Amino acid sequence: MPSSPPIVSVEHVFKSVTDSTGTLDILRDIDFTLGARETAAIVGASGSGKSTLLGIIAGLDVPTRGTVRIGGEDLFALDEDARAALRGRKIGFVFQSFQLLANYTALENVMLPLETAGRRDARKAAADMLARVGLGQRLGHYPKVLSGGEQQRVALARAFVVQPQLLLADEPTGSLDFATGEQVMQLMFELNREQGTTLVLVTHDRGIAARCERRITIEAGRVAANETTAFDEAAVPADPARAAIGSIAP
Ligand SMILES: Nc1ncnc2c1ncn2[C@@H]1O[C@H](COP(=O)(O)OP(=O)(O)O)[C@@H](O)[C@H]1O
Ligand SMILES: [Mg+2]
């Protein structure tokens, strides 16, 4: 048994939604834990419940039954304000669609979580983080003039700038071309290693899933597999584009 509590503990989580046509069971008895620095890929078909699960781990959505603990704290025993505060302190989130604020510059987008946390050095810390993701020359740019890859790097800067214990990423390369997605992934794994963040990454890409220590397969709202054994890299289809890509410059 580890002496410190797991960073993420998902305990018998169920999620159902009911409308006039009946009840849909989206998640059924999801149960797993992740330790400090652990990296986990969530894989599964479209509609299997991956995004719903990530939203619940972030405390953005509420389970019908079950418990989620973040660093030992029971997320749904907290009221909404306390839950939002915990999220701001401990959890970063990266989405497929970037989700930057359109009327804020890159710098302002990254400053926001720092300001929420009451950090007086928000401007400098945000500028440093944007330099770290290679966007030191883009501080005053608005999202709409940035490429998709640049927007996702701003989103990574915004997520990592508060040094969260946990990073949740929902298909972060889903809107990017292969080469750009590969660069964003490389950067995400680097930041993750540097900061010692626990990572939960939803991905369709077997090659990316293979780079995580754990793979959790969701089928129709249930955990169908939870494996830490190494992927057979030979089983991952060769992609000529992958071989052509080196690591990106810092
Ligand atoms: N608020 C909701 N109301 C009704 N159905 C929902 C809601 N949220 C998700 N679903 C349904 O739950 C299933 C799982 O969705 P989702 O978690 O987005 O899956 P995934 O991310 O694996 O593609 C889908 O069938 C989806 O249509
Ligand atoms: Mg999804």
* Structural domain includes residue 44: yes
- Average pLDDT for 135-151: 98
In a domain, 235, yes or no: no
Q: What is the CATH classification number for the domain harbouring 135?
A: 3.40.50.300
The pLDDT, as a whole number, for residue 216 is: 97
Residue nearest to atom 8 of ligand 1 (CA): 52
| DSSP string across 77-100 | GS-HHHHHHHHHHHEEEE-TT---
Centre of ligand 1 from the C-alpha of residue 84, in Å: 23
Whether residue 192 is contained in a domain is answered as: yes
Query: Is-above-0.85 flag for pTM?
Result: yes
For residue 48, the CA-to-ligand 2 centroid distance in Å is 8
Task: State which residues form the domain around 164.
Answer: 8-229
Q: Which residues pair with 8 in a beta bridge?
A: 34, 70
- Indicate the number of domains in the chain: 1
Question: Is there a domain that residue 249 lies in?
Answer: no
User: What residue owns the CA closest to ligand 1's atom 26?
Assistant: 47
196 lies in some domain: yes
234 vs 179 pLDDT, higher one = 179
Does 33 fall in a domain? Answer: yes
Decide if 206 is inside a domain. yes
In a domain, 85, yes or no: yes
Structural tokens at position 197: 């963040």
pLDDT of 250 reads 43
The model's confidence at residue 244, banded by pLDDT at 50, 70 and 90, is very low
Q: Whose CA is nearest to atom 17 of ligand 1?
A: 49
